[in-house]
């Protein structure tokens, strides 16, 4: 994408009203019983100068002594393309287009960008051999344009396979271990393997050249901390820790790419408990309670992926999910997922303690059977959430113990629209349950959109849901991650809707441009000042 930049011999940008953001991270775990005042992170003022070595390019610098954001203003971040960095993480792709995009985002009042840090790129060839060069370039560019960065530690696969243009597998040396021992990957009752993420049944086993998966994740986060230390708390203000497929705390009950398909709303999913490590854990648990026959595998009677839940023995309203066996299995299955999240969150909190960044974890928006009694697609994903049991409160409490904020999607979706396609789908109700739990547990919230093409009504729904979470709270901590930056975002109609949304959710006149042309001084605070940066999209 190429965006026409304004031509002016001198350019200065300042924030008219500043930014305040409640700190999401407690420096010491709440569980430790320590109490510390929250540090208020403020959006830096954007100060620019001409770079004499770049043909008059406008260079932006950060000034962290800016005014604070007005109360009720929520920052907006934009997720970068998945392929923002090359396959070896050696360099940033499309640098000129990326620079123009950053300039436009800064002008629109966007707080920052979300940068996915792919394990399969950074530690690609050999264990403990890390390459951060391309990501350093992104962070440096964000600093130049006055944007903050949220880094996502992506320990999962991206894309569906080598033919996918966005294909990013797990590190090559990890894939070698999976070839050597297929049980390192998840398996369903049919023996089908899913290699998006390492099976959490071997979380603490030394299967990766003498390290456990949890140790490998921690080592990468520790190396990230050391490499980007000078940016932490300033440019880099957030780290989202990957907890499973798609970065979400869940099982790969179905391939991630399926979740974006039109017919996903009928997907029941499959229980992922048939690799030898998961089966060993299930068998041990069954022995503990003295019912060994319950430890031989997952439930029977779940039928096919696309079947109506009411036609299955396990998922129907009065099905075996309500029986002692069903409760035993679902408690173990969801408990293994919660334990996995606990292990990673504990490591991350220790590693980044004192670095003045906001930690977060993501829960998947599995909503297409929320209107049923058993919520089958949630159960197979690892969320023991039904019409009679709250399965998300334990997860959000766990986030709260480690000072994590909750990230969740579906903010633009409405029940009425989804029911026209699938009568059992309830994305809005699903999200409300998460928002209520976050409010009760005093856990900060990061919202995301599920679909990529949002119109004005979709943005208005985001505003409504953000108000639902924040209304009545004295110091609500909410922010929104727009997923994601591509050429469609900068199309005139879409860009107009997006910038209007940023102004509405930010509740401030965030951008003021002072142009000094020919010795004159012209001030502009109109929203069109930001739009002028978007220019014309040529290619991306």
Catalytic residue IDs: 248, 448
Q: Could you give the CA distance from residue 320 to residue 329 in angstroms, rounded to a whole number?
A: 11
DSSP summary character for residue 508: S
β-pair type (112-118, 148-154): parallel
Q: Could you give the CA distance from residue 414 to residue 387 in angstroms, rounded to a whole number?
A: 20
DSSP summary character for residue 355: S
Coil/strand/helix, residue 79:
strand
Q: Could you give the CA distance from residue 532 to residue 466 in angstroms, rounded to a whole number?
A: 28
**Burial annotation 349-368 (CB, 10 A radius, 16+ → b, else e):** bebbeebebbbbbbbbbbbb
Cis before 122? omega within 30: no
- Those residues whose C-beta lies under 8 Å from the C-beta of residue 388, and which sit 6 or more positions away, are 373
Number of neighbours of residue 373 by Cβ within 10 angstroms: 18
Q: Specify whether the CB–CB gap between 121 and 89 falls below 8 A.
A: yes
Q: Could you give the CA distance from residue 12 to residue 513 in angstroms, rounded to a whole number?
A: 6
Q: Could you give the CA distance from residue 246 to residue 255 in angstroms, rounded to a whole number?
A: 10
Q: Residue 538 is encoded by which pair of tokens?
A: 């040529």
Q: Residue 141 is encoded by which pair of tokens?
A: 């560019």
The C-alpha angle with vertex 167 and arms to 163 and 170, in degrees rounded to 5, equals: 125
Q: Could you give the CA distance from residue 395 to residue 29 in angstroms, rounded to a whole number?
A: 16
Number of neighbours of residue 417 by Cβ within 10 angstroms: 15
**Burial annotation 293-324 (CB, 10 A radius, 16+ → b, else e):** ebbeebbeebbebeeebeebebbbeebbbbee
Q: Residue 296 is encoded by which pair of tokens?
A: 């031989």
Sign of torsion, CA 221 226 227 231?
Answer: positive
- Those residues whose C-beta lies under 8 Å from the C-beta of residue 52, and which sit 6 or more positions away, are none
Q: Specify whether the CB–CB gap between 149 and 141 falls below 8 A.
A: no
The C-alpha angle with vertex 269 and arms to 281 and 340, in degrees rounded to 5, equals: 35
Q: Specify whether the CB–CB gap between 274 and 188 falls below 8 A.
A: yes
- Pick from 162, 175, 149, 293: nearest CA to 234: 149
Q: Could you give the CA distance from residue 337 to residue 331 in angstroms, rounded to a whole number?
A: 10
Q: What's the full length of the chain, in residues?
A: 540
The residue assigned the tokens 């997952």 is 298
């Amino acid at each position: 994408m190429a965006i026409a930049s304004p031509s002016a011999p001198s350019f200065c940008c300042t924030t008219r009203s500043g930014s305040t953001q409640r700190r999401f991270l407690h420096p010491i775990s709440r569980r430790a019983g320590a109490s510390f005042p929250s540090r208020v992170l403020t959006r830096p003022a954007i100060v620019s100068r001409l770079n004499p070595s770049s043909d008059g390019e406008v260079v932006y610098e950060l000034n962290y002594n800016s005014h604070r954001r007005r109360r009720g203003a929520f920052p907006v971040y934009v997720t970068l393309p998945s392929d923002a960095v090359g396959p070896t993480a050696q360099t940033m792709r499309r640098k000129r287009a990326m620079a123009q995009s950053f300039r436009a985002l800064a002008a629109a009042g966007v707080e920052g960008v979300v940068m996915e840090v792919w394990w399969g790129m950074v530690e690609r060839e050999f264990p403990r051999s890390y390459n951060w060069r391309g990501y350093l370039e992104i962070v440096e560019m964000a600093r130049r344009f006055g944007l903050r960065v949220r880094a996502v530690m992506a320990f999962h696969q991206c894309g569906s396979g080598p033919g996918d243009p966005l294909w990013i597998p797990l590190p090559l040396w990890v894939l070698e271990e999976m070839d050597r021992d297929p049980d390192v990957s998840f398996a369903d009752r049919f023996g089908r393997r899913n290699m998006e993420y390492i099976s959490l049944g071997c979380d603490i086993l030394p299967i990766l050249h003498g390290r456990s998966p949890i140790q490998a994740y921690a080592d990468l986060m520790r190396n990230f901390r050391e490499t980007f230390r000078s940016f932490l708390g300033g440019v880099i203000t957030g780290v989202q820790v990957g907890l499973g497929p798609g970065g979400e705390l869940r099982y790969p009950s179905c391939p991630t790419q399926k979740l974006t398909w039109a017919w996903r709303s009928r997907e029941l999913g499959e229980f992922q408990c048939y690799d030898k490590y998961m089966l060993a854990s299930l068998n041990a648990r069954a022995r503990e309670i003295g019912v060994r026959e319950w430890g031989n595998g997952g439930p029977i009677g779940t039928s096919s992926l696309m079947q109506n839940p009411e036609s299955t023995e396990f998922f129907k309203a009065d099905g075996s999910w309500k029986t002692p066996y069903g409760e035993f299995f679902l408690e173990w299955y969801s408990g293994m997922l919660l334990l996995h999240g606990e292990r990673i969150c504990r490591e991350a909190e220790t590693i980044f303690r004192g670095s003045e960044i906001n930690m977060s974890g993501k829960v998947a928006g599995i909503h297409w059977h929320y209107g049923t009694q058993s919520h089958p697609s949630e159960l197979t994903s690892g969320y023991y959430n039904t019409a009679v049991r709250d399965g998300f409160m334990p997860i959000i409490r766990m986030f709260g113990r480690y000072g994590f904020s909750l990230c969740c999607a579906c903010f633009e979706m409405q029940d009425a629209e989804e029911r026209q396609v699938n009568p059992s789908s309830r994305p809005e109700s699903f999200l409300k349950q998460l928002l209520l739990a976050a409010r009760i547990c005093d856990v900060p919230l990061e919202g995301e959109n599920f679909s990529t093409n949002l119109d004005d009504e979709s943005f208005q729904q985001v505003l409504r849901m953000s108000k639902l979470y924040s209304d009545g709270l004295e110091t609500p901590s909410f922010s929104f991650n727009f997923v994601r930056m591509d050429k469609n975002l900068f199309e005139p109609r879409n860009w107009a809707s997006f910038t209007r949304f940023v102004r509405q959710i930010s509740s401030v006149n965030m951008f003021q441009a002072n142009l000094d042309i020919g010795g004159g001084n012209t001030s502009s605070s109109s929203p069109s000042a930001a739009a002028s940066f978007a220019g014309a999209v040529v290619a991306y």
